[in-house]
Amino acid sequence: MASFQTSGLYSKIHHIIKTIGFLVLFLLAFPLTFTITWITLIIHFLTRKPPRINANAKCILLCNGELLQGFGDLQCTMPKKHVRLTLRQLLQRYYSIVICMLLLFVETTILLLSLSAIRRYAETNMELVASLVSYNIRAAVLADDHRAIREVLSIIDQRRHVAESRVYDVKYNLLVSWKSEIIGQTSQAQKMIAKWLFLKPITVPILHNQHEIGHVWLNGDLRELTHFIFLMLLWFTGSLLIMIFGASYLSCRKYSDISISHRMRKQQTFSQQRLSSTVAQLNELSKKNERLKKENNSLAWLLQHDQLTGLLNRSTFQSELTTVIESLSECKYVGVLFIDADHFKEVNDKYGHAAGDYTLITVAQRLRNALRKDDSAARLGGDEFAVLVINIEAVHEVERIARRIVDAMNEPIELPDGTRICQSVSIGIVLSKEMTNAQKLLAQADAAMYHIKRRGGGWYWIFNAKEPDYAND
């Protein structure tokens, strides 16, 4: 006779699976129930209608802009005839419908998830039972011992998990069939649960040396499953009732403490209207102030810059030069570069003033790109430019800047019509460590510029007061 050798192992595994099923349902139900409870409380708290004012209470009414006070039997409630629903009441009904739909949706979702977990639990349980039965009747099937097979199947009745079982040989010829005593006592609810969960009988092969020698067919017992689902529905129903009563109780308790004066203050909207009007005027003034600031900044920029090239103009350049001279360091130079475009008049005469303006804009861009971060460039007028360089410690530093400018200008300029022209520049340089006059430095740089231009241009010259040639320039 085959013995049910793994009954202890089966019992342990069954309890583990059952515990996991309860844990999954608890983890699904508790957080969602807790969240739904607080959502319901908050919505009821925000939308519940306050209690009516007692007729014997002190009333403060606002009539035609005048504040009236009454005591005793002053009636504060509105007549009940032809009362239409207010916007607040409509919103309360709307929120009530939304709450009901939300609770119904969440409740249905939780139930579906729970039923899915239960279905998987039941299928896993039946697969485990079928595997154990297949293992224990393998020897009896090989020996064609029907009595031993029946003894193994009879043990299942004590476990109350299987309602009906059958054992077939490899050709699906019935060897032994067994039915539980409660097979005819299955209630209509159990049949409906089996239909809803799509629970079907399970068939497991009986293997010996990796060969099929028969099959085990099992149909589950739904008594424990029905009891478990009943407890689950009871749990959800109780949670729903707790949410409803808890929300109602807390809402009533909160609104019972609202004072009459607070309610009347909420109805006084004239001060809010005046405040809104004042805020609107302040916003308009703020916008006008911002527009004035932008216009002032734009005008200030136009006053300080050349409109064609975007460089500093003559007056701004002289102001910066004066400021730098007044803060000269003993060990550093301040340098001024006076720049003139060679043969620019020929460009204007040959290609027109539009081409001349484009050439000046290009020269200004290349000049700006050739300078250091702290240097300043300006357009003094016409085709004359000036550069202010600071923190110069040696002459070769300013010479390097002048060479960069000359190299940048040697590249041909392509006009909008595709014509390419060459526009070289002549640069006069003056360096100073001493306190001097801005006009004097500009005049010396201008003299050096004319000195190099008289010699053909396209290069730079550093001013030296000891050279006699400047007297003739």
Q: Annotated catalytic sites, by residue?
A: 383
Closest by CA to 217, choosing from 165, 163, 142, is 165
What is the amino acid identity at position 414?
E
DSSP character string of 405-427:
HHHHHHSPEEPTTS-EE---EEE
> In sequence order, what are the beta bridge partners of 219?
164
Backbone phi and psi for residue 426, each to the nearest 5 degrees, phi listed first = -115, 135
Residue 148: how many other CB atoms lie within 10 Å: 19
Side-chain half-sphere of 351: how many Cα atoms within 13 Å?
21
Q: Using alpha carbons, list the distances in angstroms from residue 375 to 204, 226, 246, 334, 403.
A: 91, 89, 75, 11, 15
Residue 463 in contact with residue 444, Cβ under 8 Å? yes
Indicate the residue type of 116: S
Whole-angstrom Cα distance, residue 392 to residue 39?
Answer: 72
- The DSSP result for 268-323, as a single string, is --HHHHHHHHHHHHHHHHHHHHHHHHHHHHHHHHHHHB-TTT-SB-HHHHHHHHHH
**Measured between alpha carbons, how far is 28 from 107 in angstroms, rounded to an integer?**
11
The DSSP bridge partners found for residue 333 are 392
Radius of gyration of the chain (CA): 50
**310 φψ region: left (φ > 0), alpha (ψ -120 to 50), beta (else):** left
